[in-house]
Amino acid sequence: MITLLVALIIGALLFGIGLYGALSQTNLVMIMMGVELMLGGAMVNLVAFWRFLHPEVYAGQVFVLVVMTVMALEMAVGFGVGTARFRARGSVEMEEARELKG
């Protein structure tokens, strides 16, 4: 059985790898993958806290389902923007997306 400390360390590692990936990459797809890892790490921590503190309450499970839905929607919108950007400009590099500045 996994202890709370092990689950929190795994979640923190996932979040850290995702943060590094999101901040160090210039490709839109790689940035989105980093954000997904960050959300996954946060979700692992949420499930760990829920499991070890209040296993009889199902609000943690519902919140995880909501976060997973938001993750799927974020990826769908992000890939839609990336596909439109690639079709229009031929690249998904964020350094070349200066026209998106407001």
The tens digit of pLDDT for each residue in 47-86 reads: 999 988 888 888 888 888 998 999 999 899 989 988 988 8
Instruction: Give the global pTM.
Output: 0.84
CA 35 to chain centre: 3
Domains, in order of start, for the chain? 4-90 (1.10.287.3510)
- Output the pLDDT for position 2: 82
CA 38 to chain centre: 4
**Among 48, 73, 72, 74, which Cα is nearest to 61's?**
48
The tens digit of pLDDT for each residue in 20-54 reads: 999 999 888 899 999 999 999 999 999 999 988 88
